[in-house]
C-alpha cells in the first residue's frame, strides 16, 4: 500500500505533522518451495513467514526533538480523507520503531521512520483497513 499525503498520522498519542507519504509493504522472509523429478521448474511455492514493514516520510521544518526511539511499540493510524465519505479510510496496526533517519536536499529536510507491524497472534493480519470504496 502507498498513501500519498495522508490527512492524519498518529503513533500512540502523538500526531505526526508533515507526513507526505506512507508505504506499507508485505515481505516474505521464508518461502516453502517444491520441485518434482520431471523437470527444472518450480511446482509449488508458499510464503511460510511474512513481515509487514512501514515507512513514514515526513517533511521537517525547523528542529525535530520529538523522535520516537527504536523499539518503541504503539498503535499506528493512517487516515485518508479525499473530501467525500466514500473515499475515507483508516489504516491501523500495532507497530514497533526500527529506525529514524534524516535526509537533506538544499533547505529541505525529510525524516524517515521505519517500523515493523506486529500481530496479536501469528495467524492474524497485522494491518486493518476500514472504510473506503
Q: Residue 81 corresponds to which cell in the numbers above? A: 480523507
Per the confidence metrics, is the pTM higher than 0.85?
yes
Taking residues 43-62, report their average pLDDT. 93
Ramachandran area for residue 93 (φ above 0: left; ψ -120 to 50: alpha; else beta): beta
Q: Which domain holds residue 126?
A: 2-30+47-131
63 pLDDT tier (thresholds 50, 70, 90)? confident
Query: Is residue 15 included in any domain, yes or no?
Result: yes
What spatial distance separates the first Cα and last Cα of the chain, rounded to whole Å? Answer: 15
Q: Read off the CATH number of the domain in which 79 is found.
A: 2.40.30
Query: Is residue 70 included in any domain, yes or no?
Result: yes
Residues 6+ apart with CB under 8 A from 112: 55, 56, 57, 58, 100, 101, 102, 103
What pLDDT does 46 receive? 94
Instruction: Answer whether 48's CB lies under 8 Å from 27's CB.
Output: no
Eight-class DSSP state of 69? P
Instruction: Answer whether 114's CB lies under 8 Å from 76's CB.
Output: no
Query: Is residue 104 included in any domain, yes or no?
Result: yes
Query: Is residue 35 included in any domain, yes or no?
Result: no
What pLDDT does 73 receive? 98
What pLDDT does 133 receive? 59
Q: How many domains does the chain have?
A: 1
Query: Is residue 52 included in any domain, yes or no?
Result: yes
Amino acid at each position: 500500500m502507498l498513501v500519498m499525503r495522508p490527512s492524519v498520522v498518529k503513533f500512540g498519542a502523538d500526531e505526526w505533522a508533515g507526513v507526505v507519504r506512507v508505504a506499507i509493504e508485505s515481505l516474505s522472509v521464508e518461502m516453502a518451495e517444491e520441485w518434482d523429478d520431471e523437470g527444472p521448474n518450480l511446482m509449488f511455492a508458499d510464503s511460510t513467514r511474512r513481515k509487514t514493514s512501514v515507512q513514514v516520510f515526513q517533511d521537517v521544518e525547523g528542529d525535530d526533538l520529538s523522535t520516537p526511539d527504536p523499539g518503541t511499540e504503539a498503535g499506528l493510524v493512517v487516515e485518508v480523507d479525499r473530501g467525500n465519505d466514500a473515499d475515507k479510510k483508516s489504516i491501523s496496526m500495532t507497530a514497533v520503531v526500527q529506525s529514524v533517519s534524516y535526509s537533506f536536499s538544499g533547505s529541505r529536510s525529510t525524516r524517515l521512520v521505519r517500523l515493523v507491524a506486529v500481530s496479536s497472534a501469528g495467524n492474524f493480519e497485522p494491518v486493518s483497513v476500514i472504510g473506503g470504496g
